[in-house]
Amino acid sequence: MKKRVALVLGSGGARGYAHIGVIEEIERRGYDIACIAGCSMGAVVGGIYAAGKLDEYRRWIESLDYLDVLRLVDVSFRLGAIRGEKVFGQIRKIVGELNIEELRIPYTAVATDLTNQQEIWFQEGCLHQAMRASAAIPSLFTPVMQGNRMLVDGGLLNPLPIVPVVSSHCDLIIAVNLNATNQKHYQLPVIQRPPAFKSRFNSLAKSLGSHLPFRRKQAEQLMKLEQEALQAQAADINPWLESAEPESQQPAAAPEKPGAPKSATGSFIIDNVGPASLLDLINQSFEVMQTSLAQYKIAGYPPDVLINVPKRVCRFFEFYKAPELIALGREIASDTLDRYESEQP
């Protein structure tokens, strides 16, 4: 008989794509995911899975490159850098109009009510609104207004919502923590994909008849204009662009210096590394808080299986790395479940 799993999916920005790989590995081993609780990206992935649309969602996010992600940035000038209508509009198209009560398994999305300063559990009502509220990352996505309540990312109070599944009576609780600091041996895999500009240029040039020199020149000009337009759009929220810049355009990390200072946990403190912008500063602070809160939640309600995804593998905003993060999630879940299963009688 299949073991019934209560799955807890934590918050962590783009690292939330690792949840997809974890779910795939859990199902591959024959476990039955019987209920889900999620926060932020964990609520989004969990809600899409509970709606039976995870494969379609995965195909979409794996098709996104750096430019595609920038195209999804709809700039806001109040209470958040991005309105989120483009991103969540696409998710709405994939999932459809569903209430949580209609999902095939019990589902909880956790958000934070800033007005009343409390944690909110969505266990009924509109699935789309629940996911959007849970993922309203402060400073990045605009909050969700519900009556007199202002709702933002649940990670502000509960980045790893284990409590909602404790009473589920499943065989085991599996929690996925996206803010781990002790998984130094895991690296983001390298997945070869054609460069975004090259593939776009080739398709555009073909449509214009690239065999003619003047047509090819037109294609080059159009590509240049497209790039400039996207950069101008991103410049409206310059912190996003700086924080989400592809690794190929970022300076290499400085080598470790002999005698470099260490933190209380023994890890090296790297000199001259800090936030690139105000938005980056806010989100790095948010992640530090989430890391600490997640440790408290784990200590208070230890799950049967804890899958730790290191937060250093990518920045909070790097939503164009879906294939790599999905593969990493699958790898870490496989290793963790191997250890768990080897200890079972």
Catalytic residues: 40, 153
Structure tokens that stand for 17 in this block: 């794509």
Alpha helices in 11-73 (DSSP H): 18-28, 41-50, 54-62, 66-71
What is 269-286 written as a DSSP string?
A: PPTT---SSHHHHHHHHH
DSSP 126: B
> Are the CB atoms for 104 and 36 separated by under 8 Å?
no
Q: Look up tokens 């920038």; give the residue.
A: 70
Assign 209 to helix, strand or coil.
coil
Using CA atoms, how far apart are residues 117 and 9, in angstroms rounded to an integer? 22
Q: Could you tell me where the beta strands, DSSP code E, fall in 130-201? A: 144-146, 149-153, 172-180
Q: Which helix (H) or strand (E) holds 69?
A: helix 66-71
What's the CA gap between 202 and 195, in Å, rounded?
11
Q: Tell me the C-alpha to C-alpha distance, in Å, between residue 306 and each of 64, 153, 174, 302.
A: 29, 22, 6, 8
C-alpha torsion 196→201→204→206, nearest 10 = -120
Residue 122, C-beta contacts closer than 8 angstroms, at least 6 positions apart: 100, 108, 109, 110, 111, 129, 130, 133, 134
